[in-house]
Every structure is written in structure tokens, then in C-alpha cells.
Structure 1
Amino acid sequence: MIRALQIRSATTADLPAITTVLHECGLTNNASLLPDRFHIAVMDGRIVACAGGERHAEVVVVCSVAVLREYRDRGIAKHLVSAVLMRARAEGCERAVLATAKCPGFFSRYGFSLVSTTTLPVCVRTSHTLTWAGMPPGLCMQCELK
């Protein structure tokens, strides 16, 4: 169990800390996303992790899942991804999509599996997140939200 972990929606005031977390985790290309699309993890009085959800109609693109190195292996990313998926379900999303070349095994725990991007709506296929994330062209991961 993680003591003193707080997961919450981000605010505009959190943007500098989110940008720092993304930069330190090598995800600087996503720093332009709006803070209201993010959930953050706060520990020890600071933002130590973030995860975003970029909505396209009934599809949410999970993006920018980042945990500072010294806070990894504590289950923080699990809590953040769960928060992003819960919010997407509450907002009526029917499926979640993500692109990652680094951690596909992590996301398979949530029911994500590899699929062809041709199965996605055009607005999702051409989203910023899916076009730069480093996956082999034509592949992404998706899961149905129930």
C-alpha cells in the first residue's frame, strides 16, 4: 500500500510540474497538452507522476503516462491509468487506445492488446499521441471500456 498518495485531476496551476515530470521521463513532445486532460499523483508534497486522456468522440487516447524515476515500482502508474480509464467511462467513452513502444506489457494488464490502427476512426489515427509515440507504423493498443 502507498501511504500519502493522492490522485487527482490536474489544474492549470499544475502545468509547470506536469511539464517537468514529462521532461524528466523523456516525454517532452506531449507537454503541449492541456492540463485538464491529466490526472496527477502527489506524494511528499510534490507532483511525482501524471497520465493524460485525449478524447476523440467515444474513444480516449491514453497518453503521457510518466512517473519520476525515484517513485517508480510503487504502483503509482496503475492508479493513474485507472483514474484516466474511470473518467473516460464516466464521460461515455467505449474504448481506450494508446501507443507505446516502451511498456506494452504494463498496459496488457488492463486488457489492452495490439491492433491495427486501420480499425480506428481517422481522428484517432491522426491524433498527436498516436503519430509520434514510437510504435511501429500501423500498430497501437486498445481495450474496450465496460
Structure 2
Amino acid sequence: KTVFQYMDILEKLFLLKILYFIEPNKGVEVFYKERKAYLTDPFLYRIFSSWCLTKIPEKSIIVESIVTSHLARKFNIGYWRNRREIDIVVFGRGMVGFEVKYREKAPAEKIGVGKIRNIITLTKNEFNENKLKIPVSIFLGSLNLS
């Protein structure tokens, strides 16, 4: 119970973003299932890892949190996981999935789950219009958050 209270406080302070599981057929959050938590600022990863005496997370985890915090500014977001996972699901009028694969030669995701038909793979440098692969830098630069 205490951990959830701390997470709630951190989210209210805009230091943490909590993603809830999305029911892919209905497009609604399921609050009783597992949650994913992302720090909203990359610098916080360095602070907390220093404070906890642990390693700084891999770049891919930090990039995934950056994408999450940017998308959360404008859209309702969550995640989906069964045997596989969709890192970020934007839901509302329609549903779009985002897989963050911050590496060279990232495989394109082909899962279609419920109403989540399009899955965009965000890569380090690779661009492929047919397989919906976009470099993270271009994606974040083209987001209109106003």
C-alpha cells in the first residue's frame, strides 16, 4: 500500500507516469492489472540510480520513458501485455501501438490485438514507411504537443 501511495505522490508531482493495462477489444484501462511506471525526466534516472547505488538503466529504457512522457502530454496512453507486449498504446477515438526498439536493425512489430491494428516501431536510425518504422528523433520532433 505504501509503494502505491509514493507512486501516486510522484505522479501528482509530474515526476512519474503510470501506465495501466489497456483492454484491446474495448479500449479501456484495467486498473486491477499490473502497472508500468516511467520517470518523466531522463535526469531522474541518474539521480535515483546514484541514490539507490544501482546502475543507470540502458538507453533503450530511458528513450522509452521519454516517448511515454511526450505522448502522455497529449493523449490517453497505456500498455498491453500478454505473451508479448506493446510498450505504449494510445487510446481514445482509435487505438495505435508504439514499440520502442532503440537499436540498429530493429524488428518491426506485426502483432494486431483487438482494436490495436497499427503498431509503429520507433527505432534508433532506421526508417521504413511500409513497415511503420520511424527514428525516435524524427517522431519526437514531429509531435505537435500544443
TM-score w.r.t. the length of structure 2 is 0.33
Q: Which one has a larger percent helix, Structure 1 or Structure 2?
A: 1
TM-score w.r.t. the length of structure 1 is 0.33
* Structure whose CA Rg is larger: 2
Which of structures 1 and 2 has the larger relative contact order (alpha carbons within 8 angstroms, sep 6+)?
1
